[in-house]
Every structure is written in C-alpha cells, then in structure tokens.
Amino acid sequence: MAGPFGHGMRDLWPLEAGAIYLNHGTVGVTPNEVMAAQWAIKLRIEAHPARFMLRDLKPELRAAADRVAALLGGRGEDYVFTDNATTGINAVLRSADLGPGDEVLVTDHTYGAVANAARHACNRAGATLITARIPFPISDNAAAIAGLESAVSERTRIAVLDHVTSETGIVLPLRRMVAICHAAGARVLVDGAHAPGTLDLDIPGCGADWYAANLHKWLFAPRGCGILWAAESMQQDLHPAVISWRLGEGFTAEFDWTGTRDPSPFLSLPAALDFLASFGTEAVRAYNHGLAVDAAAMLGDRFGGPQGAPPAMISAMALAPLPENLAAGTEEAKALRDHLLYTHNIEVPIIAWSGRLWARLAAQVYCQMSDFEALADAVEGWAAEHERH
C-alpha cells in the first residue's frame, strides 16, 4: 500500500494503545482534530446558548448542508441533518402513506434496525413486508438484480435498498436496482450508511427518492452526524420522526429544529471534511479499498473458502471466510468475537452466514496488513481449540 497510511496515522485518532481496531464501520472513530473542532463549537454554544440555538443555528446548519452537497451532489436545501441513517429512514417510513394491500420491500441483507422500522410501518398500516433474497457469497451484480426482480411487484410501494450492505459489505448495483423498482411503480429509499467516504458518490444521480446516510463513519464527523436527502418532489409530505415547533414550515425548517439537542456533530462536519481532504479523498478511498480486498484474500488463502464478494463489489469493508471446521451459529460468532477482543484486543465483527463464520473487515487509514495478519493468527489459535463437533 502506497502513501502515508498505516500505523503512522494512529496518533491522529484517540485509539487505545495496542488495540487492533478493525471495526471502523460500526460507529466510526473521530479524529483528534475533529474532536477539538467540536469542543470549540460546544464552547461557542455555551457562551450564549439561547442566542446560538434560536438565532445562529439555522444559518450554520444550512452552511454545513451546502458543504455536504458540494461533496455528495445536488443542492444544500435537499439535505437535512439527522442523528444517524436509521433516524432518517424512520422519518421516511413514518411519513409514508401505506395501507392494506401495499408492500414494503427489504432484502435479507437489510440492517436489522432498518428492517424493524419497515416492519413497524407495515404493522401500523396493515401493509406487508416482503424480503428479497440476495445470494451470499455473491458473484456479480446480476445475482443481486435477479434477487430484487423476483420480489418486487406492482404492490410494492417502497423498496428499501442498501448501497453498501452493513453486515456483508457488498456494494450493490444501486442505479440499476432503483430503475427496476421505479419501473414497477415503487418509490426507493436508500440506506447509504456506509457509502459517503467509501464510494465516489453522487446521491441525486443514484435516481432514488430518498437517501439516508451516516457521516460519522467514513467521513470522520463526530458520532451522531447523519443526513437525509430527499428529491424535491418528495419533500412536501416528509416529516421528521419527532414533530416539533416547525411543523408545516417546510422540509429544512422541520428537520433543522426537532427540539433541543446538541448540534455540534453537524456543525463539526466542515472540520471533518477538511481533515479528509488533507490526505486526499480519493487516496483514502483507494487505500481502504485495496487493504480490505487484500486482507480478505489473505484470510481466504489462510483458511480456505470463497470471498464474500468480488473486488468490484467491495468498498472499504469485506467479509473474509474463517475456518470451516468452526461451528457457525450466532452464539459461536459472539464467543469468538469476545475472545478476540478480551484476549487479543482485536475488535472485529464475526458474522454467522451461509453455514460458516466470517470476519467483517473494515479498513481505515490507521490500519495496515499486519493488523489483519494478527487477526488471522488469533483465529487460527481459537480454531485449533474449538473444532466443529
């Protein structure tokens, strides 16, 4: 891997000394520089709280939204801030006009919290939740498209599609999948939690109706910074999950004020984007992609078994097969994950899927191949003691 990346970057994050952190995708890690910017914003707020929250906040939020649009495409007025992607998805589903006979489509790779939100919306409306099956391991885009086509119908009102699947790290062919849903008459809500910062992303260009994402994962914003983009035609009837003072005043007004909360994660976004730009956004993406692909291949060679997805369908996360002789249930996955953390200080998700255990490898610029080799060594030791019976 070329460039300045690897363990020489660790001092830029507050990571515990000696920890091998291979799980940036779950809740992110905030750089020291960005945390300092956030603290400065908190001090500005507390210096004159009512003035800031009631007068200064809105224009500063809109300026931060313009920075989002400059990076992710479109107009700032089509973006609002949320605490996370799940919050934005809930807003869309709770605003949806569903009824008996309608269907909401998810996939078997949909993030569990999002699947719950879709199930709740269906239960309240008397609608039906449909789950499309996308094969894993996956070989190509055609397999994902075929899984969607077999499940979407003229009754589908909303399709909830991942851009990058959370557990399995697959980059789905989003534009093609959106087109299939629109051809069937369905609106499309995208869970893009892992896309900003890992993909060359043009959100309006994806063609979806709504797009929710996290910025506290791969864009280095402080935790609790997400966005919701909505096509202009979808904004009139879209409301935040928490209704507050600005009801009826329009899309940005309603979402910009949902009650008293800490806006510093949103207002710190410009500092996070400056931090990312200082290393080169494309260089960071390329390093993380290459490291994830190479690390998954290394574990695959070590333990045997297929890759979770081909390199073209991977961003900064990849599922790598673990020894086939390990029992492959959720309890076994949890036991191995805890062993890796508490015995070896290695944090990595262990997934039970398709009859075996997998490690979801998240590559970030403070990681290097020796981290993944340490993981392989630790798993090999565990496997020697815990063969499948």
**From start to end of 122-249, where are the E strands?**
128-132, 156-162, 187-191, 210-214, 226-230
**Which pLDDT score is estimated for 365?**
98
324 belongs to a structural domain: yes
- Residues 17, 51: one domain? no
- Residues 226, 157: one domain? yes
CA atoms within 13 A on the CB side of 277: 9
Does residue 263 carry a pLDDT above 70?
A: yes
* pLDDT, tens digit (0-9, with 9 covering 90-100), for 69-113: 999 999 999 999 999 999 999 999 999 999 999 999 999 999 999
Share of the chain above pLDDT 70, in %: 99
79-82 and 226-230: which strand pairing? antiparallel
Encode burial over 233-260: b for 16+ CB neighbours within 10 A, e otherwise: ebbeebbbbeeeebeeeebbebbbbbee
Choose the final residue of a domain: 274, 295, 329.
Answer: 274
* pLDDT, tens digit (0-9, with 9 covering 90-100), for 38-53: 999 999 999 999 999 9
Spatial separation of the C-alpha atoms in residues 371 and 276, rounded to whole Å: 22
Spatial separation of the C-alpha atoms in residues 185 and 127, rounded to whole Å: 16
DSSP letter (8 states) at residue 54: I
Encode burial over 184-212: b for 16+ CB neighbours within 10 A, e otherwise: bebbbbbbbbbbbbbbebebbebbbbbbb
Does residue 387 carry a pLDDT above 80?
A: no
Does residue 304 carry a pLDDT above 70?
A: yes
In contact, 212 and 88? CB cutoff 8 Å: yes
**Which pLDDT score is estimated for 4?**
84
Does residue 1 carry a pLDDT above 50?
A: no
- Residues 238, 293: one domain? no
- Residues 38, 25: one domain? no
- Residues 85, 220: one domain? yes
- Residues 40, 121: one domain? yes
CA atoms within 13 A on the CB side of 73: 14
Share of the chain above pLDDT 90, in %: 97
Q: What is the CATH number of the domain that holds 336?
A: 3.90.1150.10
List C-alpha distances in Å: 39 to 43, 47, 218, 282, 370: 6, 12, 20, 28, 34
* pLDDT, tens digit (0-9, with 9 covering 90-100), for 163-217: 999 999 999 999 999 999 999 999 999 999 999 999 999 999 999 999 999 999 9
Does residue 240 carry a pLDDT above 90?
A: yes
Spatial separation of the C-alpha atoms in residues 226 and 221, rounded to whole Å: 9
Averaged pLDDT, 279-303: 97
263 belongs to a structural domain: yes
Contacts of 190-193 with C-beta under 8 Å, sequence gap 24+, read 190/160, 190/161, 190/162, 190/163, 191/85, 191/89, 191/110, 191/111, 191/114, 191/160, 191/161, 191/162, 191/163, 191/166, 192/85, 192/162, 192/163, 192/164, 193/84, 193/85, 193/111, 193/164, 193/166, 193/217
Residue ranges making up the domain that contains 58: 33-274
Query: How many domains does one find in the chain?
Result: 2
Spatial separation of the C-alpha atoms in residues 289 and 200, rounded to whole Å: 12
Does residue 383 carry a pLDDT above 60?
A: yes
1 belongs to a structural domain: no
Mean pLDDT of the chain: 96
Choose the final residue of a domain: 274, 298, 328.
Answer: 274
Averaged pLDDT, 10-27: 97
* pLDDT, tens digit (0-9, with 9 covering 90-100), for 310-335: 999 999 999 999 999 999 999 999 99
- Residues 37, 25: one domain? no
**From start to end of the chain, where are the E strands?**
20-21, 79-82, 103-107, 128-132, 156-162, 187-191, 210-214, 226-230, 317-321, 346-347, 350-353, 356-362
Q: What is the CATH number of the domain that holds 180?
A: 3.40.640.10
DSSP letter (8 states) at residue 366: T
- Residues 173, 247: one domain? yes
Spatial separation of the C-alpha atoms in residues 313 and 319, rounded to whole Å: 11
* Pick from 260, 157, 151, 173: nearest CA to 210: 157
- Residues 183, 305: one domain? no
Spatial separation of the C-alpha atoms in residues 255 and 169, rounded to whole Å: 30
Tokens of residue 146, six digits:
């075929």
Question: DSSP string covering 312-352, please?
Answer: GG-SSEEEEEPPTTS--SHHHHHHHHHHHHHHH-EE--EEE
Binning the chain into helix, strand and coil, the percentages to the nearest 5 are 45, 15, 40
* pLDDT, tens digit (0-9, with 9 covering 90-100), for 111-166: 999 999 999 999 999 999 999 999 999 999 999 999 999 999 999 999 999 999 99
Choose the final residue of a domain: 212, 243, 274.
Answer: 274
**Which pLDDT score is estimated for 388?**
61
**Which pLDDT score is estimated for 389?**
54
**Which pLDDT score is estimated for 2?**
42
* Pick from 74, 31, 99, 83: nearest CA to 241: 83
